[in-house]
Structure formats: structure tokens, C-alpha cells
Structure 1
Amino acid sequence: MQKKYIVRLTDEERQQLREVIKKLDGSRQKVRRAQILLKADIAGSHWTDERIAEAFGCRTKTVENIRQRLVERGFEETLNGARRSTPPIEKLLDGEQEAHILALRLGAPPNGYAHWSLRLLSRKVVELGLVERISHETIRRTLKKTG
């Protein structure tokens, strides 16, 4: 089957990829992407997707996705990964609110309950007016963090 996305690297790009691999410069994903691009280069090693996937312990779909990203989005974004379009969510609770939740969790559960569930805690926190609304998942992360 003929490949839809062909990897053609310039000499400068090949050299940059070799430097990333040699110095282990960047994240593990960046190094793996550099290795895959070098092996997929038509003017270089020109390995098959299956051989690349086997050599680097990934799926062939991963290799195909990297080829496609190189052709559609360019070398820099493929190597370094895409930047987030929106920044991470700000912290939902401050330290005082977290302390209240932890103290509530360590206290006795309401009558009729054997222990605090995450959903019960989230309802109680809203009922007490600590926050306007909160999910049980935020409660879980807060309790796990203070662990």
C-alpha cells in the first residue's frame, strides 16, 4: 500500500533530530518522535511503519499520526508537540477551603451514613456555602493531594 504522508527531511532537520536523540534533549515523547521521524525519512533509513513501531515500542497508528502531523502541521510542531490553545484551569479551591473539606472529611458523617462519600462531601460543601458549586471529582483530587 502506498503511503499517503511521506516524510522528507532536510539536512538541517535530520541534524536537529540527531542532536535531540544524542543529548536526550526534551521529554521522552520528543525523543521518541525524533527517532520515529529519522527512521521514517524517505532519504534516510526509510523503515516501514511496522518495523518502526516494533523498534520503539509503539503502535503503527502512532507512526502514521506522526507522519501525518509532519506533513500537515510542519516540523517544529511535530517534534515539540502542539501548544495548548487554552491555558490550564485555575485552581478551584484556595487553601482555606481545602482545609475545611479535609476537616469535614475527618469528622463524623451525617446521621444515616457510615462514612463520607465524595458526592456526600460535595453536597455538604455547597450546603455550608464554602463554594457555589463543586464536583465530586474536585473533592477527590483535593483529598488525594492532602492524602
Structure 2
Amino acid sequence: TSAGAIGSQDAVAARAGVSGETLRLVAKRFAETGGDVHATVTRKKRELPPVPSPVTGEVEARLIAMACSRPPQGYTRWSLRLLEKHVALVEDIPNLDHSTIGRVLKKRNCVLI
């Protein structure tokens, strides 16, 4: 392109080393901020504070201990949903859904056998 010519969106994205989607989002934000470059490139402040995870180190340890214990009578092994039901029965462990329990066990390389 000649000096002063902007070029296509794809050409601009390629020169900037970003994807066309990134360029589109930055252009949209630039328009939303009324052309304020600083507001466009700085991160937005969170509207709500982050919610702390209910899974503390102690909760993790108790959950792993439960998963390593003998399953209840009538079951040959623990499942994530069975753990979820038993966690709900323990008063000092927050209720956790089976997907959260699975993530905790996976993070600690604990496999239900």
C-alpha cells in the first residue's frame, strides 16, 4: 500500500500481528470509548469482586480422604455423583457439585477406581 493508505482489515491485522477478530474487537471498543485510546487499551475494572473458591486446602484433603475410603455399603466404588451426595451430608464441607469434585480429584491426580 502507498504511504497513508490504511489497507484492508486483514492487512492491518497481519501488520499488527493479531487476528482479524482481535482487530474487530479493539475497533469496536475504540468506538465504544469515543476514540479514547487509553480507555481502549487498558483493562476494565471488575464490576463485582471475585468470588472466593469454596474449595480450600482442608476441603481438598477431606474430599480426597473420602474418595480413598471404602465406598458405602451396596457400592463397589465411589463415583463423582455418589461423592457429591456424601459431601452434602457432611456439615463442615461446603456442598460441591460432581464436576467440581472431579476437577479437584483430577488436579491432585486422584483416580476413582
Report the TM-score, using the length of structure 1 for normalisation: 0.56
User: Is the 2:80–2:98 contact (alpha carbons within 8 Å) kept by the matching residues of 1?
Assistant: yes
After superposition, where does 1:27-66 map in structure 2 within 5 Å? 46-55=6-15, 56=17, 58=19, 60-66=20-26
Structure 2 counterpart of 1:75 = 37
Cα pair distance change 1:120/1:67, threshold 3 Å: same
Cα pair distance change 1:67/1:128, threshold 3 Å: same
* Residue 142 in structure 1 maps to residue 85 in structure 2: no
Aligned length: 104
Runs of 4+ with >6 A deviation: none
* The structure with more helix, counted as a fraction of residues: 1
Instruction: Using the TM superposition, give the Cα deviation of residue 94 of structure 1 relative to its aligned residue in structure 2, in angstroms.
Output: 2.8
Runs of 5+ unmatched residues, structure 2: none
Distance 2:90 2:27 in 1: 53
**What SS does the corresponding residue of 2:78 show, helix, strand or coil?**
coil
Which residue identity lines up with residue 126 of structure 1 in the other structure?
A
Percent identical among aligned pairs is 32
Instruction: Using the TM superposition, give the Cα deviation of residue 104 of structure 1 relative to its aligned residue in structure 2, in angstroms.
Output: 0.9
Structure 1 counterpart of 2:80 = 118
Cα RMSD after superposing both structures:
2.6
Runs of 5+ unmatched residues, structure 1: 1-42
Q: Deviations over 1:96-125 (max 9, x none)?
A: 222110011122333444432222211111
Report the TM-score, using the length of structure 2 for normalisation: 0.69
